[in-house]
Amino acid sequence: MTFLPYVARYQRLHDPPRSQSHRQKISVSYFRYNGFMNSGRIREIYVTSPHTMRDSPQGKMLEESNSLERQTFGNLMHSAPPDDDFSFRNSASSAPSPAHNGDASPYIGTWEGASSPYTKSPWSSHVVPPSNGNHYPNGLMGSLVREEGHIYSLATSGDLLYTGSDSKNIRVWKNQKEFSGFKSNSGLVKAIIISGEKIFTGHQDGKIRVWKVSAKNPSVHKRVGTLPTFRDYIRSSMNPSNYVEVRRHRNALWIKHFDAISSLSLSEDKKFLYSASWDKTIKVWRISDSKCLESVNVHDDAVNAVVAGFDGLVFTGSADGSVKVWRRELQAKGTKHFFSQTLLKQECAVTALAVNPEATFLYCGSSDGLVNFWEREKHLSHGGILRGHKLAVLCLVAAGNLVFSGSADMGICVWRRLEGDHSCLAVLTGHNGPVKCLAIEDDIESTAADRRWILYSGSLDKSVKMWRVSELAPPHLQQIDSIKRRQIEGLSSPSPSPSTQSQSFSPQGRR
């Protein structure tokens, strides 16, 4: 099967006219038809569900077929309330539990017995071969291949791994074994984020689901709400001033996203949840009462990423090619965000953002395969560009002194930061499709002298891979690091020869 690279700037396509009007659609993702051509030769392309091919002025494009259906909002009598737990039904869950023979239940537990989708663990383990001195033990530790859908989102919490896909299922894994699972009736799971005992999932249909782990049984998850809540939805519907124009001759409540959720992020104090959407807005939610405090029109095109950073700043990246900074101010009734500055404006779409845990660097991935970064200590001045991918960067995650970038070229670049400079530590390969999401956690074998991380990568090849990565540089990079330290300290030293550069690939990010 051939996987095609992303074209991250989303284009609007129109269906045939209906009653003198056009119904506008925004697809979830596009792939350029000629992305994998060699010497101008066109290869046969196999397209699998849920994607469909269609023609456009730019050539043949691949489009996800289950794009968001637009709802008509006018007043309360003509509004369709969100499908959430406050509706009067027998169940607070999104789907019946397999353990209950199809009967509706508010609890979705483990898939036990004959109802399990897997007769054996779908994980396959890999042994990392020891290197000299047991240093630099980077390598693949395990692989999970799922037949039910492409992997779009990952999240870790303690020893648990959450995976979301276009099957609408959220699976929970523990020690490379299935621990639990639950399903939502919303669209594909595009984002997962965990705050304490609550799990937030962002979906293609614009809804944000809220789940909670059972206190009696940690393998059981209960859906406890939807953002916005049904109560807030009804209250807002009563006031005509709460409606905003989202399309020509079409209005919607400002507290609700009307297009796909693309990203979720938590504030530094974990009190606020930020949601980014292709409706060009971000919304601010208070976690304690699930109330929408603010909706901000941040870009001229789809918002692909949002990350709450440092000093009360929030960063947004968009398909319009810009990265913007927003300043949060607390007020009596909630929060207010003000535009601060634009860090980047380019032709290529911004596809991913990440802030390192020490909150000293902001990283931005884009559809041209580059990773830009800015330094906090230098008042968000541009620090440089990391060049390592041939196709679009689709995801970023930072941990310790490392930065990981996943790409449509099916590779993961591992970048190591030293005194503000970055070098490519390794390139992780093994996926057969674009790397769509990344998640990271501490390795239990990590030490102060050898800090290690467990990296999870999800791909459109329907697999999740588990990697172990050490911050220790291999010998050829340790020599470069030693020379750089001596240069920083003002000591004379010859420049490293080309033979000492990273063997993973030649280009390195420089100032």
Residues 100 and 236 reside in one and the same domain: yes
Question: Of the spans 19-23, 36-40, 433-437, which averages the highest pLDDT?
Answer: 433-437
Which single residue is written with the structure tokens 């002025």? Answer: 57
**DSSP letters along 391-409, please?**
S-EEEEEEETTEEEEEETT
Is residue 390 assigned to a domain? no
- Residue 310 binned pLDDT confidence (cut-offs 50, 70, 90): confident
Is residue 166 assigned to a domain? yes
Query: What SS3 class is residue 122?
Result: coil
Exposure string for 5-37, b = 16+ CB within 10 A, e = fewer: bbbbbbeebeeeeeeeeeeeebbbbbbbbebee
- Residue 234 binned pLDDT confidence (cut-offs 50, 70, 90): confident
Q: How many domains does the chain have?
A: 2
The candidate with the shortest Cα–Cα distance to 412, out of 423, 426, 422, 402, is: 426
% the chain with pLDDT above 90 = 39
CA dihedral over 151, 155, 160, 164, signed as positive or negative: negative
Residues 170 and 37 reside in one and the same domain: no
Residues 96 and 18 reside in one and the same domain: no
**What's the whole-number average pLDDT of the chain?**
73
Is residue 160 assigned to a domain? yes
> 222, 256, 290: which is the final residue of a domain?
256
d(CA 409, CA 429): 10
User: Is pLDDT above 80 for 500?
Assistant: no
Exposure string for 397-423, b = 16+ CB within 10 A, e = fewer: bbbbebbbbbbbbbbbbbbbbeeebbb
Contacts of 116 (CB under 8 A, 6+ apart): 98, 178
- Residue 192 binned pLDDT confidence (cut-offs 50, 70, 90): very high
Residues 154 and 240 reside in one and the same domain: yes
Is residue 115 assigned to a domain? no
Residues 95 and 176 reside in one and the same domain: yes
d(CA 395, CA 434): 10
Contacts of 457 (CB under 8 A, 6+ apart): 154, 406, 412, 428, 431, 435, 437, 438, 464, 465, 467
> 231, 256, 281: which is the final residue of a domain?
256
- Residue 314 binned pLDDT confidence (cut-offs 50, 70, 90): very high
Is residue 156 assigned to a domain? yes
Is residue 203 assigned to a domain? yes
Sheet holding 421-428, edge to edge: 393-399, 402-407, 412-418, 421-428
pLDDT for res 255: 81
Residues 237 and 198 reside in one and the same domain: yes
User: Is pLDDT above 60 for 421?
Assistant: yes
Residues 199 and 95 reside in one and the same domain: yes
List strand residue ranges (DSSP E) for 332-375, in order.
334-345, 350-355, 361-366, 370-375
Name the amino acid, one letter, at 87: S
Name the amino acid, one letter, at 148: E
Residues 27 and 157 reside in one and the same domain: no
Which single residue is written with the structure tokens 């508010």? Answer: 106
SS3 string, 452-502, reads EEEEEEEECCCEEEEEEEECCCCHHHHHHHHHHHHHHCCCCCCCCCHHHCC
pLDDT for res 125: 58
Is residue 48 assigned to a domain? yes
In eight-state DSSP terms, residue 129 is P
> 227, 256, 285: which is the final residue of a domain?
256
Residues 195 and 230 reside in one and the same domain: yes
Is residue 348 assigned to a domain? no
Q: Which residue has the higher pLDDT, 421 or 352?
A: 352
Which single residue is written with the structure tokens 């070098």? Answer: 423
Residues 25 and 90 reside in one and the same domain: no
Query: What SS3 class is residue 82?
Result: coil
Using an 8 Å Cβ cutoff, are 162 and 155 in contact? Answer: yes
Residues 43 and 99 reside in one and the same domain: no
- Residue 42 binned pLDDT confidence (cut-offs 50, 70, 90): very low
d(CA 511, CA 506): 16
Residues 104 and 240 reside in one and the same domain: yes
d(CA 143, CA 457): 10
Tens of pLDDT, residue by residue over 50-108, are: 444 445 444 444 444 444 444 443 333 333 344 444 333 333 333 333 333 333 333 33
User: Is pLDDT above 70 for 159?
Assistant: yes
- Residue 136 binned pLDDT confidence (cut-offs 50, 70, 90): low
Q: From residue 493, give the alpha-carbon distance in Å to each of 282, 418, 475, 485, 498.
A: 50, 18, 18, 10, 15
Domain ranges, residue 249: 80-108+150-256
d(CA 152, CA 458): 7
